[in-house]
Structure 1
């Protein structure tokens, strides 16, 4: 399965180099290739280092994938989209743990700013691309049934003058769009899934470690 890359995504890529608080520059060609990849459990690529400055190939074993599939085991026969979003959020966190142990990104901390000195750090672009890849794997294996995976999106100037990116899905029956944002918490926590309009308006979870670190700054 191939994935179309929209004009909106290319507009987002144009700003990627401006979003990277690290010293390494990302290749737009590499980002596009990874974003358009057809991931397989046997081999897929993830982004790290800020704006996909570092690319790592990963494989997930059958036993590891069973952990993900088991999250969806109680899927409602009545087609409960709310429950499916909960499963998606938990599965992204679980995949972050699995992938983090293989790629050195298990130490990824919530947010980006002031974290560049820590190893294994991801920025919001890395998170958005990786979450999209993880959801594509779920979709291919029949775990996501009630949602469509969209292009990642960005909102402008929410914090310290920097834009912020997220993965996006929409519900099949209602068409309502949701942000799937794994940037607000440390590696391995469930992704935050909220209506896209709420996220776009500047949503920030009240218990995010990012807000705590900011409040500690005197």
Structure 2
């Protein structure tokens, strides 16, 4: 019998792309195998081209990572301020990765300009945001939050399927959606109480 205390925490588990039934083929299996499950600033994987059709490796220079990490200086005085820092850090990471991999022109939501190349749907966004959050956590930039698994809402609640990354406020145990899908590349993601997100939350400008 496996003891409950032997179960790995989320931060100790490898990140993998969300797997769709339509993606069950050899090429996708190979991409999944090559996905960097434990990202570092100099080596991490991201999804793009809609539903992890393409998985690419990316890296940040010391200068680029310094630009990200200084967004958390000074240390946030509370969790609300840190969530704002997280928003700015995710936006910057999207910008840096977008310039590197050609996803800089990703539109808000699933709006396409004739091609899915360089575009991200909610599966891509949820995976990539989880990677970025893990980077922030593993580099000890988060004081008031810890990362948590991705989650989804969908037909069982009468809504269109949708995915998001999440974090937990360690002072309240409140879980938050970190949803970058509603905005174009490089824009701060929405951070919303997860129970509200499950109920169909959408930004006011939709």
Question: Superposition pairs for residues 21-60 of structure 1, below 5 Å?
Answer: 27=28, 30-31=31-32, 34=35, 37-60=37-60
Write the distance in 1 (CA, Å) between the matches of 2:199 and 2:27: 28
Residues 116 and 91 (structure 1 numbering): CA distance in 2 closer, same or farther, change over 3 Å?
farther
Instruction: Determine the structure 1 residue equivalent to 2:62.
Output: 62
Q: What residue ranges of structure 1 are gaps of 5+ in the alignment?
A: 212-218
Would the aligned equivalents of 2:49 and 2:116 in 1 still touch at CA under 8 Å? no
Give the TM-score normalised by the residue count of structure 2.
0.83
Q: Distance in 1 between matches of 2:114 and 2:32?
A: 20
* Aligned equivalent of 1:173: 171
Q: 1:206 — aligned with what?
A: 204
Which segments of 5 or more consecutive residues in structure 2 lack a partner in the other structure? 1-10
What RMSD over aligned residues (CA atoms) do the two structures have, in Å? Answer: 2.8
* Structure-1-length-normalised TM-score: 0.79
1:142 to 140, 143, 146: 140
Change (3 A) 1:199 1:142: same
SS at 1:92 equivalent: helix
Within 5 A, what are the aligned runs for 1:111-190?
A: 111-114=109-112, 117-157=115-155, 162-190=160-188
